[in-house]
Structure 1
Amino acid sequence: MGLCFSPEQAESFSEIEGLIESSQTIAICAHTSPDGDALGSTLGLRQVILSKWPDKCVVGLLADDDQVPRIYSYLPGAGQLVHASDFDESVDLFVSVDVSVASRLNEGEKVMRRARRTAIIDHHPCDDPEADAYFIRPDAAAVGVLVCEFALQLGVEVTADIARCLYCAVATDTGRFQYQNADPESFQVASLLVDAGASPSELSLNVYQNFSLSYLHLESLVMGRITTFADGKISYSYATSADLERTGASLDECDGLVDVVRSVASSEVALFLKEVPGNKVRGNLRSKTDKDVSQVARSLGGGGHKAAAGFTVEGDIDQALASALPQLVALFSDARKQEGNDSE
């Protein structure tokens, strides 16, 4: 399988194109706590629209009041993103990328509610999308893949700046093409983007080889706390607000720590918890096998994919562990029960 040009995708993209065509003011926003796919797709889609319709007013929004994470600040247009809480206009069209659930837009939800029309481009499963037009394809490795294919359908030239943004989206959401979602389509899109001017070394130097000393000190603490459950099949660790204060690391540097926990030999599921402001704990879940961690995230008010999901809960680290660990253990208990039923 290479690039996807299915009739269903083409029809959905045409509906979104129609909304863009009939709109003069457009806002694009991704989910709260944006990752590389969220930011890369937001920036890439904005440039795609402006390339096709240069007379339109298109603004990229940040769902939260935080700044763009330092490791993604190199992306073209990152400095032009606007905090949704500071954006008072009522736009003709609001486009959600990498998110289908309105509540995960945080401050962006208010802008969405004021918009005349709404659209969604996403790869997270959603049973009841709230939009005038949408395309949601859970088997896509990243929204960056879908935005690239949308650009190709529109006949937009993929410029170097578009390619740099979308390559970040695809490469980060596939874990540098190491996760289970790294499929032939993602490699073909990546090849197209590199050919258009994206630089794998630029991404690597900015995202994966750009850690502050304070972050590395925090990572050593997290590594020292890694604990396993269920005969080593579950690994978890955590970082407290005191850890962040003591090391000087920032919250936006913590996203990659789940991969440190994930790297434990024999572990199939990884959990990383970090305390965030407001007496809350944010959890990152990863699965290295067929275990579906998204169901655990959804039960805790979050969401995501089978192999990568997240959630935020009220309370402290101990309370978050008490909520999440039994459900993760149950993933393996349920599997053993199923194996027993199959053998009967």
Structure 2
Amino acid sequence: MGEITEDRWAAATGALRTAVAAGDPILLVCHVNPDGDALGSMLAVGQALRKLGATKVQATYPGPSALPEPFLVLPGLDLLVDSPEAPVLMVTLDAAAESRLGAYASLLGEVPTIVLDHHASYTGFGDIPLVDSGAAATAVVAAELISRLGVPLDLQIAECLYIGVITDTGSFKYALTTPEVHRLAADLLETGLDPGEISSRVFDTRPFGAVKLYGEVLSRAVLEPENRLVWSAASLADLERHGQAPYVLEGLIDGIRCAAEADVACLLKQVGPAEWSVSMRSRGGVDLSRVAVALGGGGHRAAAGFTGYGTPAEIMDRIRIALGE
């Protein structure tokens, strides 16, 4: 695949096979507030390692344990633990920077670590990087790893990988949707997946309160023609007023980014008293990975994010400055 050498594939598969054969604890860790790609890739790899014979494989992520409702029926959720056993080998998934691993970043340098990722902003941590910035999703890298381990796809692994692919490609509409992605999707569908049911569950099913919340946040969107920028913000008070969980805001940025007058769209989602998760999208003319890295985050050219502190106005001022640099 792309940027991943055969030596790295051999090192990763060798390390995993050795750990499985020895019965060593293997820990899979994805990023805080896992999305479909992070969680799907992690659970797919975990189930594949079980099929390979692993008896001590666990999965986790930093931060609150609550998962978005659409992911509560994913196969392999029994792999998730809050307090994992001390590992002999660690695999990180979809985390481009150590900060995205929370407290588990302390294991880096102490435990041999395989990194599965696809972000251009990957910072270089870990011992065996399986990182391809040309891959549309970490799930694409995970699928290749599973294949190289000699584990055949089954319906459960395929569902996890498919959710990773469709969430990070926006149902195959983003720029990194390559022929390789469609070939992988075809292989996954061959297992008997129901793509309509999965897409409906992940993208098209939200409580009515979320619909009302969407309307309110969209009504507050601000267009800045001089900056070719459109943005809005959703506060914790908004969520509470409509009785909604934070996960319902995933996908809301697509309603903002469609503004024809803007090249860049931003959605600020409050997660603490003065803390906001910032999602950014561009039409391709602006390198948002550069902007996000400058602000402490990461991502891709057309899709990136970071954690901002202060008021929405203060955070937007920093974004405008970073866009102008």
TM-score (norm 1): 0.88
- Alignment map for 1:1-344 (pairs within 5 Å): 4=1, 8-23=4-19, 24-52=24-52, 54-83=53-82, 86-87=83-84, 89-110=85-106, 112-113=107-108, 116-126=111-121, 128-231=123-226, 233-328=228-323, 330=324
1:14, distance to aligned residue in structure 2 (A) = 1.3
CA distance in 2, matches of 1:260, 1:161: 31
Question: What code does the residue aligned with 1:101 have?
Answer: A
Q: After TM superposition, what 4+ stretches of structure 1 lie above 4 angstroms from structure 2?
A: none
Does the Cα contact within 8 Å between 2:4 and 2:131 map onto a contact in 1?
A: no
**Sequence identity percentage:** 32
Question: What code does the residue aligned with 1:12 have?
Answer: R
CA distance in 2, matches of 1:69, 1:146: 23
1:232, distance to aligned residue in structure 2 (A) = 7.3
Question: What code does the residue aligned with 2:101 have?
Answer: L
CA distance in 1, matches of 2:304, 2:119: 10
CA distance in 1, matches of 2:172, 2:308: 30
Question: What code does the residue aligned with 2:39 have?
Answer: L
CA distance in 2, matches of 1:116, 1:284: 32
Alignment: residue pair count = 321
Does the Cα contact within 8 Å between 1:313 and 1:320 map onto a contact in 2?
A: yes
1:33, distance to aligned residue in structure 2 (A) = 1.5
1:55, distance to aligned residue in structure 2 (A) = 3.7
Question: What code does the residue aligned with 2:229 have?
Answer: I
SS of the aligned residue for 1:261 comes to helix
CA distance in 2, matches of 1:126, 1:219: 30
Shifted more, 72-81 versus 129-138: the winner is 72-81
CA distance in 1, matches of 2:122, 2:302: 19
Change (3 A) 1:218 1:210: same
1:150-173 CA-to-partner distances (Å, cap 9, x unmatched) read: 122222100110000000001110
1:58-91 CA-to-partner distances (Å, cap 9, x unmatched) read: 11112222311111112102254123xx33x321
Question: What code does the residue aligned with 1:145 have?
Answer: V
Does the Cα contact within 8 Å between 1:73 and 1:79 map onto a contact in 2?
A: no
CA distance in 2, matches of 1:46, 1:18: 16
1:139, distance to aligned residue in structure 2 (A) = 0.4
SS of the aligned residue for 2:307 comes to strand
Change (3 A) 1:189 1:9: farther
Give the gaps of 5 or more residues in structure 1. Answer: 332-344
> How much is the aligned-residue C-alpha RMSD, in angstroms?
1.9
CA distance in 1, matches of 2:3, 2:310: 47
Does the Cα contact within 8 Å between 1:302 and 1:310 map onto a contact in 2?
A: yes
1:293-317 CA-to-partner distances (Å, cap 9, x unmatched) read: 1111111111111111111122121
SS of the aligned residue for 1:29 comes to strand
Does the Cα contact within 8 Å between 2:71 and 2:202 map onto a contact in 1?
A: yes
Change (3 A) 1:107 1:254: farther
CA distance in 1, matches of 2:43, 2:122: 27
CA distance in 1, matches of 2:99, 2:300: 17
Does the Cα contact within 8 Å between 2:4 and 2:132 map onto a contact in 1?
A: no
Residue in structure 2 matched with residue 335 of structure 1 by the alignment: none
